[in-house]
Amino acid sequence: MGSAVAQGQPKPDWSLVDMPSQSGRIFLVTGGTSGMGFEDAKALAAAGAQVVIAARNAQRGKEAIARIKQEVADARVEFEAVDLADLVSVQDLGKRLNSRLPRLDGLINNAAIMAPPQRGTSAQGFELQLATNYLGHFALTAHLLPLLRKSDSPRVVTLASIAAARGRINFDDLQSEQAYDPYSAYAQSKLAGLMFAFELHRRSTAHGWGVQSIAAHPGVAVTELIARGPGLDSEFGRNWAKDRERYHSAAQGALPTLYAATAHEAQAGAYYGPVGKDEKRGPLGLASVPAAAKDAEAAARLWSTTEQLTNVSFR
């Protein structure tokens, strides 16, 4: 498919002690106030990076920064408000960062919502999961491309999910207006993000942007995603709760992302995640790429469609 090329497996027991120094590097982490995004931000700060946490809730941002500074005394971490489901908010964040940052070395497209029971819509009227998990990150990456290109070795890490394997891009009903199934819509949004990561790699290579685009997924990690989505009292939530002791912690779930964002050995166009049973947990490795994510023609169509929906372009 010209993106996730065959290559050696990463060190399976890679951990934070293996992370190279990130001193002098600047990262943006979306959804960094909780869960894996918080773990990303904390680990990067501990490695010496300047970290911008971008999320909706300023109070939660303040609390996250305080927690990080309790554990990392000299942490350089700050908060920026953004609502990924509002393209105006995303554009405003891009403008603010372009005006004040000298460059951006790493962008971690992490924030997500999962399977709200009722179909919601974004500020621009798009289905809420597609808007938050994919469209907002697509637009943010486009707005930040000039900053990324000022870095010597910029990386964009986009979070996918094992749910992407169950997804399909329904171009005839992309916004789930004709029929809404919360889990199908989630799977579509995560497949779209994975296809975006591969297509960004292809286009960066073709146009000489110099941006390394890498995808990662956490397996199944214990975070707030279920509580804020289908709910802990839903059938999905109850089944998840029965098995949660067998899942990754948020810190463990963050390792594939941190590997993709920092390891010298990480390869552009690759997809990293745990490779145990059903890829729900286990040692780090190259994740299985769903057949739909290998379709470069569909990815190019999705890219073009997304440019029209978001009114942004990469240049």
Supply the residues annotated as catalytic: 186
Q: Terminal CA-to-CA distance of the chain, rounded, Å?
A: 23
Q: Decide if 195 contacts 133 (C-beta within 8 A).
A: no
CA distances from 175 to 82, 128, 131, 312, 313 (A): 22, 9, 9, 18, 21
Structure tokens at 209: 């942007």
Task: Please provide the DSSP assignment of 32-60 as one string.
Answer: TTSHHHHHHHHHHHHTT-EEEEEES-HHH
C-alpha to C-alpha distance for 197 and 271, rounded to whole angstroms = 9
Do 78 and 100 contact (CB within 8 A), yes or no?
Answer: no
Rounded to the nearest 10°, the torsion over CA 19, 263, 104, 84 is: -90
Show Cβ contacts of residue 259 under 8 Å, excluding neighbours closer than 6 positions. Answer: 10, 14, 216, 266, 272, 284
291-297: which pairs have CB atoms within 8 A and are 24 or more residues apart? Answer: 292/164, 292/167, 292/168, 292/169, 292/191, 292/195, 293/164, 293/191, 293/194, 293/195, 293/198, 294/1, 294/4, 295/1, 295/195, 296/1, 296/2, 296/3, 296/198, 296/199, 296/202
